[in-house]
A = this chain, B = another copy of it.
Amino acid sequence: MVKIGLIGYGYWGPKLVRNFFDDSACKVKTVVDLRRESLEVVKKYYPSIRTSTTIDEVFEDSKIDAVVISTPVSTHFSLGKKALNQGKHVLIEKPMTTSYREAIELVNLAKKKKKVLMVDHTFLYTDAVPNELGKISYFDSTRTNLGLFQKDVNVLWDLAAHDISILTYLVKEKPQSILASGISHTKNKLENIVFVTIKYPSGFIAHLNCSWSSPVKIRLILIGGKKKMIVYNDVEPTEKIKVYDSGYKIMNRKDPEKFQVDYRIGDIHIPKIELQEALIGVTRDFLHAIEFGSKPISNAALGLEVVKILSLADKSMRNGEWPMKYEKSHFNQ
């Protein structure tokens, strides 16, 4: 049975603890957090779990096989590195690190140590990731909400990781260029609004609209394929995915006065999706990889690619908002 230590009982920590706790294939041994009040909550709900404010109680515990890192993103690299060096398997909250150099160092270290390195790109474990759309021509995502400003990263690193993980999973080709534009309305200069456009050699285009400053929470992804188009609305309680028969309609504009125009060309289908928590998929995939050596869906290579694209987007934003070429050789940060 896999023994788990978790560091960081903030937003994702409690969800991860609950899912590992419910899985009979592992045992959550220790939870570390610097905030004593968070540990009180752990103690109340999980009297069997040890709590500590000292990180080394996880790293130096030889009985712990795997470390789950759900701390602020700026600490992911150093904690992940330490964990791998101590011979632990590692699951890190998204995004893996805040730079490509750090991400590649973790990936190489995991290979060397022959340990599982996985990133919690939860969305890949929903039923929502589509297939059978035909050749995809665009991906357009809007993620906005109010407040919840992060202290150590801008809105790009906070919200775009979701979409880029989906893109990396969905699209087989590599990007050609990445262009980002953003603005900070706060003193710390971290952007609270960012727009990203990613172009691919085949003509596929992806666009991300990320904001911490919208009065409404929007989680809307449009994906256009040759055969079908998809609208994924994560705010909708039950009818999250709509699949549209697509193609372009030649509208009769002769007498457009009288009736409302219906731009839809065919039927809409709302598939039944299981409203099971996607995080169950993450924890199972991690435990399975540890036990059987399988390759997780949200594996280290995918996590690395996400960091690479995020880094290029950030670089574009910082360098006059010009499109960055996606080429390995040119990459040095």
Contacts and interface: CB of A to CB of B under 8 A. Distances in A.
Contacts of A182: 205
Contacts of A215: 222, 224, 229, 231, 242, 244, 246, 263-265
Interface stretch (A9-17, A65-73, A76-84, A305-313): A9-17
A298 interface: no
Interface in A193-209: 193, 195, 197, 199, 203, 205, 207, 209
A261 B217 CA distance: 10
Contact of A183 (B203, B239, B265): B203
Contacts of A197: 181, 195, 321
Size band of the interface chain A makes with B: 35 or more
Given A10-B253, A277-B259, A239 B214 contact: no
A69 to B, nearest CB: 17
A214 B229 contact: yes
Interface of A: 10-11, 14-15, 18, 37-38, 41, 45, 47-48, 137-138, 140, 142, 144-149, 177, 179, 181-183, 185, 193, 195, 197, 199, 203, 205, 207, 209, 211-217, 222, 224, 229, 231, 235, 237-239, 242, 244-246, 248-251, 253-272, 275-277, 320-323
A7 B203 CA distance: 38
Nearest to A149: B248
Contacts of A207: 193, 195, 209
Contacts of A229: 214-215
Contacts of A264: 146, 215-216, 238, 272
Contact of A257 (B14, B148, B272): B14
Contacts of A41: 254-255
B146 A248 contact: yes
Given A259-B276, A269-B269, 15 more contacts: A14-B257, A146-B248, A147-B249, A147-B263, A179-B179, A179-B181, A181-B197, A181-B199, A181-B323, A213-B224, A214-B222, A237-B237, A261-B275, A267-B270, A322-B323
Contacts of A147: 248-251, 263, 265
Nearest to A12: B256
Contacts of A146: 246, 248-249, 263-265
A209 B218 CA distance: 15
